[in-house]
Copies of this chain bind each other. A is one copy, B any other.
Amino acid sequence: MSNHGYSPLTTETIAERLGNVDILQEKLGSDGSQWTSREVGDGNLNLVFIVDGPNGSVIVKQALPYVRLVGDSWPLPLSRSFFEYHALTRQAARDPGRVPEVYHFDEEQALIVMEYLSPHIILRQSLIEGKKTEGLGTALGNFCARTLFRGSDLHMETSRKKADVALFADNVALCDITENLVFTDPYFEAEMNRHTSPWLDDLVAELRADTEMKLIVQEMKTAFCNRAETMLHGDLHTGSIMVTDSDTKVIDPEFALYGPMGFDMGMLTSNMLMAWFAQPGHEASPGSRTSFQDWIANATSEIWQVFTDEFTRLWETERTGILYPSAVLEDQGHTAASRKALEQWLNTVWQDSLKICGIEIHRRILGLAHNADFETITDEERRATLEAQALRFGRELILNGNDRCATVADIFDVAGSFVLEDA
């Protein structure tokens, strides 16, 4: 896609430029002069507008030809909007109602008009504030099971799956961000890295000298680059989830790619854990966030329990793809073997997730893109103490997670042991 004809929207031009789109007239009101808009993009990449009209509100998300966080010194193709659109439509089909409804897509302008979620806030913010969301684990567990299963060769018709592999293989620039920022930069002195200095300096050097760990990280990078299991969200952290006290939505799948299931599950788990580690930095009085930490741990357990249950249900009822065909299993009476294959599959997802979880923690503390969970702790020494716990825990997950963690409860027990070391 060339950028010819592309022009970034502004609050001044938005009504004029989108006023003729039927679905917007319907959602907002037919008189564009009555629309008002504000730019609210707080992410790293794009323009995001809320447009209000007499009939309601919509979100207009437009890609910029560079990384917003860094500026036009880091160009980034507009095509990410195309991939987000295709990911959103597939996610909507695979887990209806969990992603914002798309009203309009303009490929040339790299913009998507979609449902305005209100009164939703970003889950990361909600966790920092100590707010609970009822049904969070169920929503996210089902979302992951349904999107990951239904985008894979366990379910899809193989020609359609291969066509989607080809389609998303072109999302090079956003894969490149993950390949570098997640799997590589944290493990050497890359230019864009930063960490809470000087407190973490020694630990950072220690991690970069840990060759056993770094080889496992490269194994997982290889899995990320080569194992086209399913269409991933690709950026499923707590900043890509919006919540109220009882509703959960998943947004921003522009990093979508074909990759290993454990990547989405690991990144999600990791960001729940970072919220958990950071809680003491947000407490009003010592220990006032302990029960909320338990809620985070329970919600994370629930994600995995629901994921496992729903994945199992889909394995038994929707395994229509070319892998593990019933012709060689159930049709020959080998039901127990089919069950065993499912357990092996889920175990692979689990083991991959543990390693991705550790890697994601490292890159959020050592790389370019940090998390508000830690960043909003203004006492730097205090922040560094909590970050160090998380970093050491991340290394342990990468190296020994498979031996030490059979359940989510085990993960949080191991996490707790790194907090106790400091106590």
- Measured CB to CB, the residues of A under 8 A from B are 153, 158-159, 162-163, 165-167, 169-170, 172, 175-176, 179, 184, 187-188, 190, 208-209, 211-212, 214-215, 217-219, 221-222, 225-229, 322-325, 327-329, 331-332, 334, 336-337, 340-341, 344
A379 to chain B, nearest CB (A): 32
Contact between chains at A323 and B169 (CB < 8 Å): no
Chain A, interface SS category: helix
A232 to B256, CA, bound (A): 26
A340 to chain B, nearest CB (A): 7
Contact between chains at A153 and B225 (CB < 8 Å): yes
A-B contact pairs, 26 of them (CB 8 A): A153-B225, A158-B175, A158-B176, A159-B172, A162-B169, A162-B175, A165-B166, A165-B228, A166-B166, A166-B170, A179-B322, A184-B322, A188-B327, A188-B328, A188-B331, A188-B332, A211-B336, A214-B329, A215-B340, A218-B328, A222-B323, A225-B322, A226-B227, A226-B228, A226-B229, A227-B228
Contact between chains at A328 and B184 (CB < 8 Å): yes
Chain B residue nearest to A219 in the complex (CB): B344
Best-buried of A167, A188, A226, A323 by chain B (most CB within 10 Å): A226
How many copies of this chain does one complex carry? 2
CB-defined contacts of A190 to chain B, threshold 8 Å? 327
A188-B332, A323-B222 are contacts. A162–B172 as well, Cβ < 8 Å?
yes
Contact between chains at B337 and A214 (CB < 8 Å): yes
A249 to chain B, nearest CB (A): 29
Best-buried of A159, A170, A328 by chain B (most CB within 10 Å): A328
Contact between chains at B221 and A323 (CB < 8 Å): yes
Contact between chains at B172 and A327 (CB < 8 Å): no
A188 to B218, CA, bound (A): 38
Contact between chains at A215 and B159 (CB < 8 Å): no
A159-B172, A187-B328, A211-B334 are contacts. A218–B323 as well, Cβ < 8 Å?
yes
Contact between chains at B170 and A162 (CB < 8 Å): yes
Contact between chains at A169 and B163 (CB < 8 Å): yes
CB-defined contacts of A158 to chain B, threshold 8 Å? 172, 175-176, 179, 225
Out of B221, B227, B332, B340, name the residue touching A208 (CB < 8 Å).
Answer: B332
Out of B167, B219, B228, name the residue touching A228 (CB < 8 Å).
Answer: B228
Known A165-B165, A211-B337; 11 more pairs at CB < 8 Å: A153-B222, A158-B225, A166-B169, A184-B322, A187-B328, A208-B332, A211-B340, A214-B329, A215-B340, A222-B323, A227-B228
Chain B residue nearest to A337 in the complex (CB): B211
